[in-house]
Structure 1
Amino acid sequence: SRSGSCVTSPNYPSSYDNSQTCDISNMPRNPLVVLDWAVEGSSTCGYDWLEVNGKKYCGTSPSDGPVGVVTGSMYWQSDSSGPERGWEICFDIHPPNSPPALPPASPPKSPPLQPDSALISGPCLLTYGGQCVTSGNYPNKYDDNEECTITNLPRNPLDVLYFQTQGFGGSSCASYDYVEVNNVKYCGTSEPGPQGVIPSDGTMYWKTNSYTTYKGWEICFGPRPPLSPPALPPYLPPPVPPLSPGGVQIDGPCALSRSGSCVTSPNYPSSYDNSQTCDISNMPRNPLVVLDWAVEGSSTCGYDWLEVN
């Protein structure tokens, strides 16, 4: 069996028959490997047995099968009763085991930080794709007793987009809420903060006290984000062209509409009456715009009509 590397009892894996014998010879000198073993047995192996190197083997457990290297041949014999499932023994190479289970796939690691990517310890936040940093909760007010350390900053001039903290600037900042860069503290509502300062050690520090809080700050250390485009002015309809001096004059039941910029047939939007006439004069010299039109007609307009020019 198994491409000539193993041998089995007759009919295996079905039971062998009674009164069978086999000689297996010319085997390689390799250790035997018992894959399966179930042979009618006794203490002297006097019923069914496999003889290897002059020793008889029987029993129903693989541990009862032969061991060691065959130095001659193997001989199999069964008696006239009680057959079992039999055996399968390999003598060349052990048939390959199932491949070991692959280890569970590990989730992909987060990509490493790029050089000059800022690292934050505390509630401050990166914005604009990691190009800027803000105080906690920005643009809402920061909290009391807030503290952040921002490290790994690129050595670029800082660009302050917004800066408003408690304090009065200068040496007083240590008592209030301040941003510290290069051992200089910045605070207040009228100063620009650390605008243009290059963080020589790549670090910025933020600390607040337990009193009044403000909106905070947003500071960029990479390319400045583009400004939002200005809002478009609201659409204004074109002005109504001025009427000629004295305004449009109507003689008849027609009516002016839309603050005198339009004129309608009598009773519009209801139907006009029979046998009506109107004269509309003193109109501005602008192209006419027809908003609605439903007039009894014929090929010669001999019934109801509006005459222009």
Structure 2
Amino acid sequence: MFIKSIIVIILISITGYIFKQDTFLLGLSYISGILFYLGLIALIVFWILKKFKNKEIAVERRKKVNFIVGISLVAQIFFSFSGIAVKTDFNKVNYSTNFEGKVVPEISEKKIKLNIEANVPDGAIFETTLMGKRGKEIAVTTQNIAIKDGKGELIVDISDWNYGYLTAISNFKFNSNKFEQPENIKVLYGKVGERMEGTFAIKNTSNGYNGVLKYEKIAYPNFEFLKENNEENFRNIIKEILLEKTIKNLIVDVKILELDRIEIIVSKKWYYLSKTQKQQLAEQLAPVFRELAAQNYQIKNEIIAPLFFMNSAGEEVASPNMFGGYNIKE
């Protein structure tokens, strides 16, 4: 009977720890838990002394220990049920302070849905913003999204927004002057997010951290549409650039191929340049043409788009090195 009672008491105590959430209750729960286990150890020692050493313990001492165990047990039961009364979903899953997440956009019928996914407890508030252009003006929509089961969403009507790139930012914010994170969120991450960790944790103005998720280039209505409708403009700009004095008759064409590969076609004039001149020219022109192609939706990412210098026979005359610069081929 003694052993069964101990098992029941321990299970109730563990339940108390599982369902705690408030910071104050959390501290009291720890204290009562420590007192409970100390008292329990004392009772076990008394039982062992009596059972195996045939030694009686003073009645007053046993009463004090029993009182401590009883009070701490009542406290643990209280914490168990008070914790259940205030939602503590975040304790049902072992959530980490290492914040991770992403924003996944979906565009259909002139509307965009931003799907927010994050490893946070229910109730976490994400200040979510979508930015683009409407005519010549900046278009911005912001809404606070509460996370449920690790997910949230923002739906925006963009039927009167300009075609082009949209930007989405979802901010798991702890320094807002408009809202506060729920108590269960502050218990886990800290009042100002000071316990948050991870790649997406960005220092905020309150000496804590916000969890910032971004999707910086959402093609609206889609990338293929933007590329096709801006190709003519891109070609016209290229024609103007090729007439500039510094590269006239040196660069004859610019091609955009699959996988965002850019090829700059050079004339025979290339071969009259010194190796140093070729190196300088390649390093100066490459970022210019990459950025130009990206601005006109001809490539998706100017940072990783490979750019090669080719002759008219389709042979490489300069190729990018892995760690920067160009390898000039004689």
Give your verdict on TM over 0.5.
Answer: no
The structure carrying a bigger helix percent of its residues is 2
Which protein, 1 or 2, shows the higher relative CO under an 8 Å CA cutoff with sep ≥ 6? 1
* TM-score, scaled to structure 1: 0.20
Structure with the greater alpha carbon radius of gyration: 1
